[in-house]
Every structure is written in C-alpha cells, then in structure tokens.
Amino acid sequence: MNVLSISTDSHFSHKIWQETELSKMVEGGFPYPMVSDSNGSIGKLYGVYDENGGVNIRGRFLIDPDGVIQAMEVMTPPVGRNVDELVRQVEAFQHVRKTGEVTPAGWVKGMKTLTPGPDLAGNVWREWSPKNR
C-alpha cells in the first residue's frame, strides 16, 4: 500500500507543518510523502481543486493496483476525517481483492465475510445482520 499526502502548499510549508504540528500529533512525524500540487493539476484531475481559493479541497482516494478508484471521500475543512475508517476500508478492499469474498457494512479484519453468488441474493439477512458486528 502506498500513501501520499497532496496539497497545494509548497514543500517548505509541508516541512514546517511536519515539524511544528504533525510531529507533535504522530510519534516520529507523518510517515508518508507529502507532495506539493502548487498549480492544482492533481486536484483538477480528481475534481477537488477549488479555482477561487487556489487550493485542493480535502479528499481521499483509494486507488487499487490497477489504477481504478475504489472509494473516495471529499470533506470541507470544518469536519475532520476518520483515520480508523480509512484503515478499515483499505483492509476490506485488500481482503476482497485477495479472496473474492464480500465484506458487509462495518466489517473489520477477522469478522465474517460473504461469498457472492446466486444463493446469496435475497438471503444476505440469513448470513449477516448489523447485530453481528
């Protein structure tokens, strides 16, 4: 799994952000590369560049090894994101890709999965319930 942090800030701003903020929130600092998208070209490709503000809106994209976006979330700055949910989704997509099984809502590693097929249609309720979480 590769993780990149991309913003319209300069690499100098990323360095300061890492040293003055992230290193105090995450032991050892943010462990992933921070990429400067100063002209918004990456943000424009993903539809998150705000022309008026000259910034990328907060978004996250889960892209599989084939380059296909499997999930995305775009948030306005006042609402924080949930890192645990991001990790859960990455693990679920990795499990699905490896096994072909289906991960129901709220699935976390080690929980029951579903096997897709004609017998499952109309019978999910027999195999899984939100109470099983």
Q: DSSP string covering 10-57, please? A: -HHHHHHHIIIIIHHHSTTS--S-EEE-TT-HHHHHTT-EETTTTEEP
Q: How high does pLDDT run on average in the chain?
A: 90
**CATH homologous superfamily for 1-77?**
Glutaredoxin (3.40.30.10)
Judge whether residue 130 has pLDDT over 80: no
CATH 3.40.30.10 domain residues, the chain: 1-77
**Global pTM exceeds 0.75:** yes
